[in-house]
């Protein structure tokens, strides 16, 4: 993948990819990957091996995988004489667990794909949007401290946004964590800000937080890939909604026997997370293959409440293998056109025929 490509890199495709430390030193190339480690080999004659715990990976950018530690630290902690796999218990420190939880909260698909970032100079010419989704203008230049944004062709307005207030890029737009009103009030001006403006306590604390979470930030801005839109049937009439998965967040969920099981708390690669209750909470990890309909306010899943509680209620996220196994058990349904033209009430479809059990391999092979 070239540095102009904004897609993520799957762990399966990471073999032979160049690996670099956060201080921009060569570590070699990926030799193998396990559930817990990235095994990196440096050199061709005199070889060094590094067994790097996966959650120390900072991201993928400029055709390289970046590790969130300096090379000296990597050598002292992870160097091996051969490509041996140490027990992960050696590195299950509180700091490592906290880093893992932080990464999974920010990147729910981290176990299958490596977070990407885009080099700073590649966002020049792209649009900048604010946290309230308003267009600020076009990015004209990037300096070590700020991003210059220009709006208008004749009567031009310029904004000088502190660099650490730019938090993501989606392939088309860069996003600042500032609202449009705050950007207008503080950073709309005729000349770049003075160096002292980047030394305030608030900004320095914000910068430290970003550097801790995204050590690759010195090289580029995190690329936030958006999951493709999905077609979800409104009911069994064949009508569909085409909407991004994130639009389902906080929507209520109903089972096939018309029971409310909470709301959509999160959307993963192959599942949705339903959360029910406030004090006595229940969390369900439901494969997407069970989604049968959407009314605009409620998402319907094709299973009764008893099955949801028996099969999908979990305290922790199931493994990808377990989720795919559960997904294969979902019934595939098709609508038999009703004789009446009267629209059916949500949850009361006309005749539904079970076609066959889901074959995920067959689905993957079907053309879009």
CATH number at residue 346: 2.30.30.240
Domains contained in the chain, number? 3
Residue 136, Ramachandran bin (φ over 0: left; ψ between -120 and 50: alpha; else beta): alpha
Q: By C-alpha distance, which of 158, 54, 164 is closest to 115?
A: 54
What pLDDT is recorded for position 34? Answer: 87
Count other C-beta atoms under 10 Å from residue 333's C-beta.
Answer: 16
Same domain, 138 and 84: no
What confidence score (pLDDT) does residue 241 get? 58
Q: Please check whether residues 81 and 106 belong to one and the same domain.
A: yes
Q: In a 3-state reduction of DSSP, which class is residue 76?
A: helix
Q: Which two tokens stand for residue 339?
A: 């004789």
User: Tell me, what's the pLDDT at 239?
Assistant: 55
Q: 187 and 64, same structural domain? A: no
Q: For the whole model, what pTM was predicted?
A: 0.52
- Across-strand partners of 116? 60, 223
**Secondary structure (3-state) at 3:** coil
Question: Residue 40 is part of which domain span?
Answer: 9-114
Q: Are residues 35 and 66 in the same domain?
A: yes
Question: Do 94 and 130 fall into the same domain?
Answer: no
Q: What is the pLDDT of residue 331?
A: 66
Q: Is the domain of 237 the same as that of 250?
A: yes
52 DSSP 8-state letter? E
In 3D space, the residue among 94, 106, 100, 129 whose CA is nearest the CA of residue 35 turns out to be 100
Residue 2 domain flag: no
Whether residue 210 is found in the same domain as residue 250: no
Distance CA 293, CA 166 (A): 37
CA distance 305 to 301: 10
By the 8 A CB rule, do 57 and 68 touch? Answer: yes
Q: In terms of domains, do 275 and 288 share one?
A: yes
Give yes or no: residues 203 and 107 share one domain. Answer: no
| pLDDT tens-place values along the chain, 368 residues long | 344 445 568 888 899 999 999 888 999 999 998 888 999 999 888 889 999 999 999 888 888 999 988 999 999 999 987 767 888 788 888 888 888 887 787 777 788 888 888 889 889 999 999 988 889 999 999 998 999 999 988 788 999 999 999 988 887 889 998 889 999 999 999 988 888 888 888 889 888 888 877 777 888 888 765 555 566 655 444 555 566 676 787 889 999 899 999 998 887 767 888 989 877 889 999 988 888 888 777 888 888 999 999 999 988 878 767 877 788 777 654 333 333 333 333 443 333 333 333 344 444 444 33
Tokens at residue 154, please? 């004749």
Q: How far apart are CA 38 and CA 58, in angstroms?
A: 12
CA torsion sign for 333, 336, 340, 341 is positive
Looking at residue 367, its pLDDT comes to: 39
Task: Tell me the H-state helices in 242-328.
Answer: 305-307, 320-327
Output the pLDDT for position 341.
Answer: 32
Domain final residue, candidates 114, 133, 150: 114
Boundary (domain end) residue, out of 63, 83, 114 = 114
Alpha carbons 169 and 30: distance in angstroms, whole number:
26
CA–CA gap between residue 146 and residue 167 (Å, rounded): 13
Q: Are residues 123 and 72 in the same domain?
A: no
Last residue of a domain, one of 114, 145, 162: 114
CA–CA gap between residue 127 and residue 133 (Å, rounded)? 11
């Amino acid at each position: 993948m070239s540095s102009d490509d904004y897609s993520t890199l799957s762990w399966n495709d990471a073999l032979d990819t160049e690996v670099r430390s956060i201080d921009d030193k060569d570590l070699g190339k990926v030799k193998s990957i396990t559930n817990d480690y990235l095994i990196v080999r440096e050199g061709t004659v005199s070889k060094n091996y590094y067994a790097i715990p996966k959650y120390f990976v900072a991201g993928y950018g400029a055709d390289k995988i970046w590790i969130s530690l300096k090379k000296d630290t990597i050598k002292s902690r992870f160097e091996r004489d051969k490509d041996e796999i140490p027990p992960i218990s050696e590195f299950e420190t509180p700091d490592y667990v906290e880093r893992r939880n932080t990464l999974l909260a920010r990147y729910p698909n981290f176990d299958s794909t490596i977070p990407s970032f885009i080099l700073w100079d590649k966002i020049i010419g792209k649009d900048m949007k604010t946290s309230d989704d308003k267009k600020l203008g076009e990015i004209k230049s990037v300096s070590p401290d700020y991003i210059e944004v220009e709006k208008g062709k004749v009567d031009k307005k310029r904004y000088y946004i502190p660099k650490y207030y730019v938090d993501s890029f989606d392939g088309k737009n860069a996003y600042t964590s500032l609202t449009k009103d705050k950007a207008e009030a503080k950073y709309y001006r005729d000349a770049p800000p003075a160096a002292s403006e980047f030394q305030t306590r608030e900004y320095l604390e914000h910068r430290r937080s970003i550097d801790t979470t995204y050590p690759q930030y010195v090289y580029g801005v995190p690329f936030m890939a958006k999951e493709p839109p999905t077609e979800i049937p409104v009911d069994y009439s064949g009508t569909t909604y085409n909407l991004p998965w994130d639009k389902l967040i906080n929507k209520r969920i109903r089972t096939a026997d018309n029971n409310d099981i909470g709301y959509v708390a999160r959307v993963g690669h192959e599942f949705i997370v339903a959360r029910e209750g406030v004090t006595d909470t229940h969390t369900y990890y439901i494969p997407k293959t069970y989604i049968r309909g959407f009314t605009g306010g409620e998402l319907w899943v094709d299973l009764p409440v008893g099955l949801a509680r028996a099969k999908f209620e979990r305290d922790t996220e199931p493994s990808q293998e377990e989720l795919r196994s559960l997904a294969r058990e979902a019934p595939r349904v098709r609508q038999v056109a009703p004789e009446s033209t009267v629209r059916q009430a949500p949850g009361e479809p006309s005749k539904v025929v079970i076609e066959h059990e889901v074959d995920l391999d067959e689905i993957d092979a079907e053309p879009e």
